[in-house]
Chain A
């Protein structure tokens, strides 16, 4: 089945550690996105990528990093510089300009302990 897979579903991080959230898609989509969701804040864009080996900062990129070495994969690293990383993280992908609607993974809940 085609879709977007995020892993893990739940992740616990100690303060000062970097962690990487995985996002894989087999939909052959060009564009991929990372969003952060906090209560009452809606979805805020962290990073997005329109094509392999290229990505752009979103509204809240500080303390995060990404890579796009393969079309299928867009991992997000939450670094120790992110002061308040506890949140729900959503990855999405879309075909691109022709069909811009995004399809989402099931999310990763990150908690700092």
Chain B
């Protein structure tokens, strides 16, 4: 069975600094996708970034980037120039795509990030 583990329940960072959130996963499949979602206090889940397992290049979206280590099954999120609006719960998620047939989306338990002024 696939699992997603986020080992940091809470983190904090000073405004304008950089922070890295950790995520590891376990799967025996070779084709899959990984995501980071953000859930601010409004509780609306927002997709931050996605990574296809077959791509070696790490995904980047503005201030957000990932460090994808397939062999180590690690998928960390780096937030640069942290802003107060980045304060939220962050969830790492995994979905398999074996033979083009999609599995279900599996989430970690989340990391609560606080950005301090």
Assess whether B91 is in contact with A43, with CB atoms less than 8 Å apart.
yes
Contact (A45, B104) CB under 8 Å given A97-B97, A101-B33, A101-B50: yes
Let me know if A33 is at the binding interface, CB within 8 A: yes
- As a 0/1 sequence over residues 101 to 112 of chain B, the CB contacts with chain A under 8 angstroms (1 = contact) are 110111111100
Let me know if B100 is at the binding interface, CB within 8 A: yes
Q: Which residues of A contact B104 (CB under 8 A)?
A: 33, 45, 48, 56, 58
Assess whether A42 is in contact with B100, with CB atoms less than 8 Å apart.
no
Assess whether A101 is in contact with B35, with CB atoms less than 8 Å apart.
yes
Closest A residue to B31 by beta carbon equals A97
Let me know if B28 is at the binding interface, CB within 8 A: no
Let me know if B16 is at the binding interface, CB within 8 A: no
* Candidate in A31, A42, A90, A104 with the most chain B CB atoms within 10 angstroms: A42
Which of these, B42, B50, B102, B110, contacts A42 with CB under 8 Å? B110
Which of these, B43, B102, B107, contacts A96 with CB under 8 Å? B102
Let me know if B95 is at the binding interface, CB within 8 A: yes
Let me know if A65 is at the binding interface, CB within 8 A: no
With an 8 Å Cβ cutoff, the count of chain A residues facing the other chain is 26
State A101–B93 Cα separation when bound (angstroms).
10
Assess whether A33 is in contact with B45, with CB atoms less than 8 Å apart.
no
Interface residues of A in 47-64 (CB under 8 A from B): 48, 50, 56, 58
Let me know if B62 is at the binding interface, CB within 8 A: no
State A41–B6 Cα separation when bound (angstroms).
11
State A105–B22 Cα separation when bound (angstroms).
26
* Cβ distance B8 to chain A, nearest Cβ, rounded Å: 13
Closest A residue to B43 by beta carbon equals A107
Let me know if B11 is at the binding interface, CB within 8 A: no
Let me know if A92 is at the binding interface, CB within 8 A: yes
Let me know if A26 is at the binding interface, CB within 8 A: no
Please provide the 10 A-B residue pairs with the shortest distance between their CB atoms, ordered closest to farther: A42-B109, A104-B45, A97-B102, A43-B107, A100-B95, A48-B104, A97-B100, A42-B107, A42-B110, A100-B33
A selection of 6 A-B contacts at a CB cut-off of 8 Å is A45-B104, A94-B105, A100-B105, A103-B47, A104-B44, A106-B43
